[in-house]
């Protein structure tokens, strides 16, 4: 149902072509990781999938339907950003409820979904607190909770752990893996951290200069990098 396909997707900003024709088929439930150097187009690609940015060429398809002109809230996609973008004047529960209130979800349903998400993320003790009282790792869990309550068919993560210290990064990475195992939802995860990519991904998409350098399982890329660039990124032999 949520199979996701990109066909010849392009993006230009003025005279600058930053995504140069990307083809990608993602199976329902797959954990896909985009890696590549800063500025190679990872965030732009995610934002086009989410509907936060128009595509300049090609198609984004979800469940066999072209989504190019479908507004973001109707795509069944939730995105978690590096900056948690929580509302400081709202409690954790209110932060997690806000999007559902906008979409007129019944109050009882909102409460139920927030409670479930808080359970998954071990946020129950913090529901009535302000985000200001939470640690960086807890705030990022609230941001993930806000995505979970929407029950999306696809989760997009844009470098969600890069503001956390090393220990918390490892811990939150394990939680994201657990979340994927539990929900079985398609996830696309952007990182420039090789360990995150190798441990989380079913398949890794290596991007370079707005193009796909290679797609494969972590083991495939490690054993058979297509070129020196991929080998450099993945740490395999060339
Ligand atoms: P990454 O996430 O891989 O670091 P981005 O997708 O953010 O890369 O950016 C890819 C390229 O597109 C960069 O050269 C960046 O400067 C450019 N870019 C991104 N957003 C815009 C924008 N709104 N206007 C102009 N250029 C942009
Ligand atoms: Mg980025």
Closest-CA residue, ligand 1 atom 10, reads 41
* Cα 68 to Cα 24, 57, 220, distances in angstroms: 15, 10, 32
CB distance 42 to ligand 1 below 6 Å: yes
* Cα 93 to Cα 114, 154, 170, distances in angstroms: 7, 22, 25
Rounded distance, CA 189 to CA 88, Å?
A: 26
Nearest ligand to the CA of 158 is 2
76 touches 62 (CB < 8 A): yes
pLDDT at 43: 96
CB distance 63 to ligand 1 below 6 Å: no
pLDDT at 238: 47
Q: What is the ipTM of this complex?
A: 0.98
Query: What's the pTM value of the predicted model, to 2 decimals?
Result: 0.94
Q: What percent of the chain has pLDDT over 90?
A: 82
Residue 164 — very low, low, confident or very high, per pLDDT cuts 50/70/90? confident
Closest-CA residue, ligand 1 atom 5, reads 41
Per residue in 3-54, pLDDT tens?
Answer: 999 999 999 999 999 999 999 999 999 999 999 999 999 999 999 999 999 9
Nearest ligand to the CA of 44 is 1
């Amino acid at each position: 149902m949520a199979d996701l396909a990109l066909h010849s997707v392009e993006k230009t900003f003025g005279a600058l072509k930053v995504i140069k024709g990307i083809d990608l088929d993602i199976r329902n439930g797959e954990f896909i990781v985009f890696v590549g150097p800063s500025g190679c187009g990872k965030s732009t690609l995610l934002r086009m999938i989410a509907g936060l940015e128009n595509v300049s060429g090609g198609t984004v398809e979800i469940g066999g339907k072209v989504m190019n002109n479908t507004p973001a809230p109707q795509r069944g996609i939730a995105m978690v950003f590096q900056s948690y973008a929580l509302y400081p004047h709202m409690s954790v529960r209110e932060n997690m409820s806000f999007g559902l209130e906008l979409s007129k979800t019944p109050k009882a349903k909102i409460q139920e979904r927030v409670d479930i998400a808080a359970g998954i993320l071990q946020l129950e003790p913090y529901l009535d607190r302000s985000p200001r009282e939470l640690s960086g790792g807890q705030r990022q869990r609230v941001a993930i909770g806000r995505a979970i309550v929407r029950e999306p068919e696809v989760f997009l993560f844009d470098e969600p752990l890069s503001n956390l210290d090393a220990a918390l990064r490892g811990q939150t990475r394990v939680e994201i893996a657990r979340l994927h195992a539990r929900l079985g939802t398609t996830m696309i995860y952007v990182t420039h951290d090789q360990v995150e990519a190798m441990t989380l991904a079913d398949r890794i998409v290596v991007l370079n200069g707005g193009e796909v350098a290679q797609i494969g399982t972590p083991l495939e890329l490690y054993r058979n990098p297509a070129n020196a660039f991929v080998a450099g990124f993945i740490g395999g032999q060339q």
